[in-house]
Amino acid sequence: MIGFLLRRLGWTVLILVGVSVLVFLLMQLVPGDPVRTMLGMSATGERVEEVRHQLGLDRSLPIQYLDYVAGVLHGELGQSLVLSQPVSSILFPKLLNTVILSAGSLLICLLVGIPLGVLAGARQYSLFDRGSMFISLAGASVPVYWAALVVVSIFALQLGWFPTSGMYDTRNPGGLADVLHHLVLPAAAAAVVPTAVIARMARGTMVEALQGDHVRMLRASGVPERSVIWRHALRGIMPPVVNIVGLQVGYLLGGIIFVEVVFNWPGLGGQLYTSITAGDMPLIQSGVLFIALVFVLVNLITDVTVALLDPRTRKAA
């Protein structure tokens, strides 16, 4: 297990280095001059060159990259060109809000997707199986922004059950209950596609597990069907299910950008959207790097969890 962890940590470091290089180079290809964006078009050429020298933008690309990596390792992410504030003070609160939204969406995925898939697999070819898999197929094909607009239209505008935007009531904040009330719709919208994918995966693995020899032996021994499904078969399908859940977290991080924009959720995705439209490169670089870091760490946790559930994967890795 220690060797497996060391190999996975080594790959994680290499992936993060590759992501940092890719993000840095992509930002160099963005049209426009970031210094002009910060100073405005009325700035003189001398002032522009002075600021470029202060920011180190007149150095070679390798030196700029090394300075960028050194700053990231020391927690110095630079300064926003538009807001004139440290990037860390802007992004860290936004990242926490995005984590709250992602955790809510992931909780919905787990509480709905896995039981739905298990029940459908246990009742193969039944009306429940066909109906739930049809709904999950439709859910997996829905664009995230469309799902967000639909739930806003139905549950916020027509029924009035939930607020249309924001993270809490700015006029009369109600603490945790208020945040949870605002969380329901964006979390549900972001969870539509991952829940459908997890349900279909759980259903397929459950059908396969229930056809195994050990399940036939349990049934022949008189073990109750409920115990066969929810104790023995469920344990066997957990490694592939955990694996697909980890992959869907990456989808969540990508789709949440659209959800945060639609619901005006004060998270990292909404901030990235604003920064991209404003051409604020330090914020864009750090935001994309944060998302990549979370995705890589989630996949590391997923690999370790799968290895603990199924020791055979340690030798294959």
Calculate the CA dihedral of residues 167, 168, 171, 172 and round it to 10 degrees.
Answer: -170
Q: How far apart are CA 102 and CA 252, in angstroms?
A: 7
Calculate helix-pair angle for 87-108, 268-278, nearest 10 degrees: 130
- Which is more confident, 258 or 313? 258
Residue 116 has φ and ψ, to the nearest 5°, of: -65, -45
Most confident among 1-10, 68-77, 200-209, 270-279 (mean pLDDT): 200-209
The average pLDDT across 216-238 equals 84
Kindly indicate the confidence band of residue 41, based on its pLDDT and cuts at 50, 70 and 90.
Answer: low
Quick: pLDDT tens for 84-125: 788 888 888 888 888 888 889 989 999 999 999 999 988 888
Q: Residue 261: pLDDT above 80?
A: yes
pLDDT of residue 66: 82
Kindly indicate the confidence band of residue 306, based on its pLDDT and cuts at 50, 70 and 90.
Answer: confident
Residue 78 has φ and ψ, to the nearest 5°, of: 90, -165
The average pLDDT across 53-73 equals 76
**Tokens standing for residue 126:** 């039944």
pLDDT of residue 73: 78
Quick: pLDDT tens for 140-162: 888 888 888 888 888 988 888 88
The average pLDDT across 61-88 equals 77
Quote the percentage of the chain above a pLDDT of 90.
Answer: 8
**Any idea which of 27-36, 72-81, 263-272 has the lowest mean pLDDT?**
27-36
pLDDT of residue 234: 84
pLDDT of residue 310: 67
Q: How far apart are CA 186 and CA 98, in angstroms?
A: 11
Q: How far apart are CA 195 and CA 107, in angstroms?
A: 10
Q: Residue 317: pLDDT above 60?
A: no
Kindly indicate the confidence band of residue 15, based on its pLDDT and cuts at 50, 70 and 90.
Answer: confident
**Any idea which of 2-6, 91-95, 137-141 has the lowest mean pLDDT?**
2-6
Q: Residue 36: pLDDT above 70?
A: no
pTM over 0.75: yes
Quote the percentage of the chain above a pLDDT of 70.
Answer: 88
Q: Give the count of beta carbons closer than 10 Å to the beta carbon of residue 311.
A: 10
The average pLDDT across 225-250 equals 83
Instruction: Compute CA 259 distance to the chain's CA centroid, rounded to the nearest angstrom.
Output: 12
Q: Residue 201: pLDDT above 60?
A: yes
The DSSP secondary-structure symbol of 230 reads I
Instruction: Compute CA 272 distance to the chain's CA centroid, rounded to the nearest angstrom.
Output: 14
**Tokens standing for residue 41:** 């078009």
Per DSSP, helices labelled H in the chain are 2-28, 34-39, 45-55, 61-73, 87-108, 114-122, 127-140, 144-151, 176-210, 213-220, 225-227, 234-263, 268-278, 281-309, 312-316
The average pLDDT across 30-46 equals 67
Mean pLDDT of the chain: 81
- Which is more confident, 278 or 224? 224
Q: Residue 30: pLDDT above 70?
A: no
